[in-house]
Amino acid sequence: MSLHRERTTPDTASYSVVTRETAPHDIEVRIAEDHALYIGTPTGDGVVIEGDLAAIAELVDHIHAHVHTTLADTRQDQHR
d(CA 31, CA 34): 8
According to the model, what pLDDT value does residue 4 have? 85
Residue 12, pLDDT score: 97
* pLDDT for res 41: 95
Residue 53 CB contacts under 8 Å (≥ 6 apart), including other chains: 17, 34, 35
The tens digit of pLDDT for each residue in 18-49 reads 999 999 999 999 999 999 999 999 998 999 99
Average pLDDT over residues 2-25: 94
N-terminal to C-terminal alpha carbon distance within the chain: 39
- In this prediction, residue 57 carries a pLDDT of 98
**pTM to 2 decimal places:** 0.85
Mean pLDDT of all residues in 65-73:
95
